[in-house]
Structure formats: C-alpha cells, structure tokens
Amino acid sequence: MTSIGTGYDLSASTYSPDGRIFQVEYANKAVENSGTAIGIKCKDGIVLAVEKLVHSKLLVPGANRRIQTIDRHVGLATAGLLADGRHLANRARDETASYRDLYKAPVTMKHLIERLALYVQAYTLYSSVRPFGISAILGAIDKDGPQLFVIEPSGVFFGYHGAAVGKGRQLAKTEMEKLKLSELSAREAVMDAARIIYLCHEDAKEKEFELEMTWITEETKGLHLPVPKDLHDEAEGKAKAALEDDFE
C-alpha cells in the first residue's frame, strides 16, 4: 500500500496524493483476515451463516456470536473485529427503537441501512476516530419482502441477492453465483449456506471453527431466529459429506 510520500495513513481524514484513504483500506484488511460471513436472499426469506474461527480450545462453545438480532425481524452478521461488530449492533438497536417510538411500526430496512451507513461513514471523517474494522451483512423481511444489504468500512452499502464478506468471500461469491437464488426455499438455502462455509474453510482447515446460522422466513413468521438444531445438524452433515466427495 505504498503511495507518493509518507505519513498519509496516520489519520482517516487525510487523503494520499493519489486520492486514497489508507486507514479505510487497512480496515478492509481487518475484514479480510476474519472468518467468512454470507447472506442469501431466497424466495421466502433470508439465511445468514458465519464461519466463526475458534482461537482457543478453552473458549466456551457458542460464546461471542457473530450473528446478532437487531429487531425481531432484523439480523446482523459481521466479519472483522468482534468488538466493532457489537458496537454497530448496539447502534442499530438504538435506531430501530427510535423508529418504533416515533412511527409505532417496525423499522424498514431502507431506513435502517441508510442510518447505519451514515454512522459508519462518520468514522472516516475525523482524525480523532478510526474507521470500523468490519463489514456487516444485514437481512430482514419488511413490508417490501426479503431484504439483504452489506455495509463496508467506508460507509458505502449495496443491496444483494447473495452477499459474502471475510477471508473466503471470493470463493463464496463464485459458489453463490451458481445457485438460482430466486428459486431456492429457505431450507434449501440453509443447506447451500453450510456447504459454502465449509468450502471456504478449507484454506484454513488447521483451525477449528463453529458454524453459526440464522434465518428469517415465512416458517419463523418473519422473525430472526437461529436455524433449528435438527436442520443445522443435517446441513452440517451434508456439507461435510459434499466436501469429502469433492476431495475424493
């Protein structure tokens, strides 16, 4: 990440001579060093899945979750610095509570994503703060149907049919492009999400990981809930079997 001159990476409010903000690029590097997170928008809902790397055998299973519930119908998955993800989740909860108090209705995804993106972008404007070291995938079912968005550390956001962030994002995107997402049911999307996460983990197979999966579907009546244990176990079993078949 060299540029003309030095010292242009000391502040998020300083441009380099070729128009780059290095601290935002460093934040993107923090995301790339994290486990993969994916979101799939299918015909009847949203599925979120995360490869949560286990850094120590002493850690309690299920602790420090990377997928969080923002409102009853909104889920957030992050890749990058865990503490930054928690902070953004708390900010998102404040926004949803404020919207509910003001309009007496559940927050719309369009409103929430714009507010959160502005908040993330504000942290790239001042020398006294640093950019968020996360990319966040937000999924929800609102009055406009299933919605899936990604917010980058720069504050830019895009809507997606299938999204991936983290170390294995390129492989995950390639695999999702092979799927007919608009024809998938949520249960089928859970199977594909588990398979894709296991495929992405192959590059770091010496490290242990936990597969986190949640969904928002007609089956859950539009609520953001963990994937049921029996379905989760079935998806993991099929993912491992598919990986072994590919290896053979």
Domain boundaries, the chain: 31-246
Q: Which residues of the chain have pLDDT under 50?
A: 1, 5
CATH 3.60.15.10, domain 31-246, yes or no? no
How far CA 169 is from CA of 3, 45, 119, 166, 200, in Å, comes to 27, 21, 24, 5, 8
Closest by CA position to 77, among listed 213, 169, 243, 236 = 213
pLDDT at 123: 96
pLDDT at 89: 97
Question: pLDDT per residue over 14-67, tens digit each?
Answer: 899 889 999 999 999 999 999 999 999 999 999 999 999 888 889 898 888 999
Bridge partners (DSSP) listed for residue 75: 69, 139
Determine what percent of the chain is predicted with pLDDT higher than 70.
Answer: 97
pLDDT at 5: 45
How far apart are the C-alpha atoms of 101 and 99, rounded to whole Å?
5
How far apart are the C-alpha atoms of 230 and 227, rounded to whole Å?
8
How far apart are the C-alpha atoms of 229 and 217, rounded to whole Å?
16
| 55-69 burial code (b ≥16 CB/10 A, e <16) | eeeeeeeeeebbbbb
Which position has the token pair 């949203």?
46
pLDDT at 25: 94
pLDDT at 61: 87
